[in-house]
Amino acid sequence: MTDFYSTFSEKELAILAARASRVERAVHIEQGEHRIDVLTVNIHDEVYALPVASILGVYEDVAITMLPGTPPFIAGVANVRGHLLTVLNLAAVLDIPGQQGEKNAVVVATSGTVQVGLLVDAAAEVITIIQSKITPVARFNDNQQQAHLEGLLPDGTAFLDIDAILNDPGLVVDQS
C-alpha cells in the first residue's frame, strides 16, 4: 500500500500545505470573535482593503469608456457581464496622487441599491480579519480620505468604508 501523499507532485504538496496552514490559523481564532473577510487592492503604490461582503465581483483589464465632461473621480462606464456600470476612479475619490497604471481591475461594489465599479490598479488577495483588531480612525478636519475609512487593519492597511464611499453626496453628478 502506498502513502496517500506520494501520489502528489511537489507543487501540489505545497498547495496542500498552504491550505492546511490557512485552516489551522482559522481554527486558532478565538471562539465568539466576529471575523470579516477583506479584499486587498493596490491603488498606485498603496494597499487598501475592501469588505468582501460589499463586493459582487472583480474583473481585470476591463475596457472603460471615458465620458466627456465628467468630474475626475468618474473613470467612465464599463460593460461588465452585460451590465453597464459607472466606474469610479478610487484614486481620485481618495485623493491619492499618482498615475493609473497600464493594468487595471474593476471591483464591482454595492451599497443598498447602488452598484458601481471601483477602478484600482490590481486586486491582491482575500484575508480574514478579527473585527475587534480593526483600529478606528480619528476624524480630523474635513479630510476626504478619512471620511471614507472604516479603520486600520493590524498590519496598517487602510480599511475602506464602501457605504461611505458609495453614499457620499460629493460624488453625485447632477446636471440640472
* pLDDT tens string 88-139: 999 888 888 876 666 789 999 988 888 899 999 999 889 888 888 888 876 6
Radius of gyration over every alpha carbon of the chain, rounded to an integer in angstroms: 19
Does the domain at 33-170 match CATH 3.30.300.160? Answer given as no
pLDDT tens per residue across span 164-176: 888 887 777 666 5
Helix (H) or strand (E) holding 55: strand 55-60
Is the CB of residue 164 less than 8 Å from the CB of residue 145?
A: no
Extents of the domains making up the chain: 33-170
Q: Which residues 6+ apart lie within 8 Å of 55 measured at CB?
A: 39, 107, 108, 109, 110
What average pLDDT does the segment 26-40 reach?
A: 71
Phi, psi of 107 (to 5 degrees): -95, 115
Which cell numbers in the block locate residue 4? 496517500
- Whether 85 shows a pLDDT value over 80: the answer reads yes
